A and B are shown apart, each in its own frame.
Chain A
Amino acid sequence: MHELILISAGLLMISHAVFLFRKRVLLTERYANTIVSVIAAGAGLTLSLAHTALFEGQLLWMISGISLLSGCLYGVLSGYMSAAIAGSVNGSIGSAMGIMTGEVLLNPALCGLPTQDGQILLPLFSLLFFILISLLILLSYKY
C-alpha cells in the first residue's frame, strides 16, 4: 500500500512538471510562486510520509533532498527564480513535517502517546490532499 502511494505521488509530480513546462508562458510571477510552493509542499509531505513508513526511518536524507530539489526544479521550469526559492523552502518544510509525523506514527512513545491502529490513514489522507490540490491547480490553468 505504501509503495502504491509513493508511486502515485511520483507520477503526479512528473505530470505537474510537464504541465508547468507547457504553461510557463501564461504564468505571472505571483501565480507561479503560489502554485510552485503548494505543489512542492504537498509532494514533500506525501513522499516523506510514505517513505518513512516504507523504509522504517532509514535513508531520510534522500527523501528530504528529493523534496527540496523537486521544489527548486518546479521553480526553474516555471521560469521565475523567486518561484524556485519559494518552492525549495516549502518543499523542505513539507518534507520535514512529513518526516516528523511519520516517525511519531512509527513510534508513538516519542510523544508519550499509546500505540494506535490504522496507520495507513495518514499517508492516504495526505495523498488525497495532494490529488485535491492537483485538481484545483489543473482547473486554474484555464484562467
Chain B
Amino acid sequence: MAILLFLHFMIIAVFLIRFFALRDQTGFHLGMNITMITGGFTGLITGAVLIDYFPFYFIAMTILSAVTGACVGAVNGLFYDSQSALTGLSNGLMMGLMGPMLGAAGDFSMIAVVLEAACIILMIFALSAVPKS
C-alpha cells in the first residue's frame, strides 16, 4: 500500500504543476472546488494508508494526515487567492481527521484504491473545465 501513497503524491504533484501553469485562466469558483478536491482526497488517502501500517499510533497518524491534507489544500489555494487557501485549509483538515477512521473501520484497503481512482477522475474533470471558467 505504500506504493499507493507514493503514487498519489506523484499524481498530485503533476496535477499541481498543471494547475499552477493554468492559474491565470481559472475562475475563482472553480479554483475553490479544485482546492477542496486536492486537500480532501490527500487527507483521506494519507490517513487510510497510514493507519494500515501504524495501527498502534492512531492519534499521531490522525494529526499527521490532518496536517498533510491542510498543507496541500492551503498550497493549492494560494495559487488563486487567500479565501481559497482558507477553504482548502479547513476542508483538508476535516477530511484528514476522517481518513484514519475510514481506513480502520473498513478492514480491507481496497477503499484507498477506489478513492485514488475517484481523485484522478475528478482532477481530470477539473482540468477539462478550466478553459470554460
Contacts between chains A and B (CB distance < 8 A), count:
67
Q: Are B83 and A34 in contact (CB under 8 A)?
A: yes
Name the one of A42, A110, A116, A121 contacting B90, with C-beta atoms under 8 angstroms: A42
A121 CA to B93 CA, complexed, in Å: 15
Q: Scoring B residues 34 to 68 as 1 if CB is less than 8 Å from chain A, else 0, what string do you get?
A: 00000000000000000000011111001100100
Task: Describe B's contact surface by its main secondary structure.
Answer: helix
User: What chain A residues lie within 8 Å of B28 (beta carbons)?
Assistant: 30
User: What chain B residues lie within 8 Å of A136 (beta carbons)?
Assistant: 86, 89
B111 to A: closest C-beta gap in Å: 13
B77 to A: closest C-beta gap in Å: 11
A133 CA to B98 CA, complexed, in Å: 19
A130 to B: closest C-beta gap in Å: 10
Interface size class of A (residues with CB under 8 A): 20 to 34
User: What chain B residues lie within 8 Å of A111 (beta carbons)?
Assistant: 101, 104-105
Q: Scoring B residues 16 to 39 as 1 if CB is less than 8 Å from chain A, else 0, what string do you get?
A: 000000000000100000000000
A108 at the interface (CB under 8 A from B): yes
Q: Scoring A residues 110 to 143 as 1 if CB is less than 8 Å from chain B, else 0, what string do you get?
A: 1111101011011001000100010011001000
A93 at the interface (CB under 8 A from B): yes
Q: B-contacting residues of A (Cβ < 8 Å)?
A: 30-31, 34-35, 37-38, 41-42, 45, 93-94, 97, 100-101, 104-105, 108, 110-114, 116, 118-119, 121-122, 125, 129, 133, 136-137, 140
